[in-house]
Amino acid sequence: MRNGEPRRVGLIVNPLAGVGGRLGYKGSDGAYGIKAVMMGAELVSPSRASRFLRALSRLLKRQGIKVELVLPPGLMGEASVREVLRESEVMEARIEKCVSPKMWPTTAHDTIRCAKRMASSSEIIVFVGGDGTARNILYSIDQEVPSLGVPSGVKVYSSVFAVSPEKAAEVLADYLAGRAVLEEREVVDVDEDEFRRGRLVLRVYGKMIVPVSGGLVAASKSPDTKGDVEGIARYFAESIYRECTLYILGPGTTVTAIARAIGVGDKTLLGVDAVHNGEIVARDADERRLLSLLNSYERVAIVVSPIGGQGFIFGRGNQQISPEVLRRAGRDSILVVSSPEKLEELKMLRVDTGDPDVDDMLRGYMRVLIGYGRWRMVKVE
């Protein structure tokens, strides 16, 4: 500790971030987040904030560091993490009255207002959200203080996020102990309207100062490399594909090429489709539709490709394939496909489904199809 005083850390929770993921929405910005809540979708950011703080509390206790969290009231802060703070011996809270505690739904303007207020009293701002939240933080504080993202969005393309809530706790603990380095990292977001039309249009909005430690902060998403995509697709069609099997096909160009190879010419590029006997039985499906299909088909296979530059196979951009879908389908149902060039850049695959037990089920080694009849064993973390 510095002079025995608690370290001040700002924490902002965007309660709507990621709420539309399991519904198949391509983001939760604006009206889509409200629509998801009205349809009964569960808020995911508060639980991810709690996971982050529980892990942080354990690490800080071990290191003898105390923290004063500067929090907005309501679901943007104090209400989301009240129980964790009550249990912690090394964290206390100071409420920054930047919004009404009854504010609902929260907006980007609320995030911006709170970040501006908290930057003057905090040595780092931690935020729980996605790329839209990162844009709001960038707009409000620029590089005035360091920032770190706890991933909770549907789309997490920016390189300002740790790879999971627990890893975010490790990065922050390293930063407070003087073991992390500060780097400029890009804030990247997509045009959600174009995204929903099946076009991925990325834009760099600026750079944040971010603590980085041990590879625990993800890189920006990079475009897929072509590699032997046609070889992968042809081998799948000739040697793997079976009739009377439900295929849940994730997003991406490689999986889209597989769909074409088995006779499905209009696969949703950025969504999740379900195919049976060469016909799409669910287009751009949400979690509920996928669970319903699992009740109707005895044999199922899930085909996904990792996100370039990050390595996530579940939890980023395909949250419709939820923990419950994965639990019911089983680990053996999963087929990962990737060009060898992408794997060389990644070194490993990652999962962040939102359910630590399912993440544990998926960890270990998986065979990845990298070309025509070519496989590679890759570790999943």
Number of neighbouring beta carbons within 10 Å of residue 352: 26
pTM for the model: 0.81
To the nearest whole number, what is the mean pLDDT of the chain? 89
pLDDT digits (tens, 9 = 90+) for 340-360: 888 888 888 999 999 999 999
Q: Measured between alpha carbons, how far is residue 354 from residues 18, 75, 259 in Å? A: 11, 19, 28
Model pLDDT, residue 196: 62
Q: Is the pLDDT of residue 234 over 60?
A: yes
What is the mean pLDDT of the segment spanning 225-242? Answer: 86
Are the CB atoms for 158 and 192 separated by under 8 Å?
Answer: no
Model pLDDT, residue 268: 87
N- to C-terminal Cα distance for the chain?
32
DSSP β-bridge partners for residue 169: none
pLDDT digits (tens, 9 = 90+) for 240-288: 999 999 999 999 889 999 999 999 988 888 889 999 999 999 999 999 9
9 CB-near residues (< 8 Å, 6+ apart): 67, 68, 69, 70, 122, 123, 124, 125, 126, 172, 176
Distance of CA 360 to the CA centre of its chain: 16
State the helix-helix crossing angle for 108-119 and 131-141, rounded to 10 degrees: 40
Within 28-93, residue ranges assigned H as helices are 31-38, 45-63, 78-87
Share of the chain above pLDDT 70, in %: 92
Please state, in angstroms and rounded to a whole number, the distance separating the CA atoms of residues 144 and 172: 17
Model pLDDT, residue 2: 47
Q: Which residue has the higher pLDDT, 274 or 101?
A: 274
Distance of CA 305 to the CA centre of its chain: 15
The class that CATH gives domain 7-212 is: alpha beta
Maximum average pLDDT range among 25-34, 95-104, 237-246: 237-246
| 222 confidence band (pLDDT: 50, 70, 90) | low
Beta-sheet strand order (sheet of 300-304) = 279-282, 273-276, 246-249, 300-304, 334-337, 364-371, 374-380
What is the mean pLDDT of the segment spanning 112-140? Answer: 95
pLDDT digits (tens, 9 = 90+) for 293-304: 999 999 999 999
Token pair belonging to 177: 């102990």
Are the CB atoms for 180 and 211 separated by under 8 Å?
Answer: yes
Model pLDDT, residue 320: 94
Within the chain, residue ranges assigned H as helices are 31-38, 45-63, 78-87, 108-119, 131-141, 165-176, 192-196, 229-235, 253-261, 287-296, 323-329, 340-346, 356-362
| 28 confidence band (pLDDT: 50, 70, 90) | low
Q: 181-205 burial, b if ≥16 CB within 10 A, otherwise e?
A: eeeebbbbbbebeebbeeebebeee
Model pLDDT, residue 225: 52
Number of neighbouring beta carbons within 10 Å of residue 3: 4
pLDDT digits (tens, 9 = 90+) for 148-163: 999 998 878 899 999 9
Q: Which residue has the higher pLDDT, 206 or 225?
A: 206
Q: Is the pLDDT of residue 3 over 60?
A: no
Model pLDDT, residue 1: 42
What is the mean pLDDT of the segment spanning 180-207? Answer: 81
Q: Is the pLDDT of residue 198 over 70?
A: no
Model pLDDT, residue 26: 64
Place of tokens 């249990």: 87
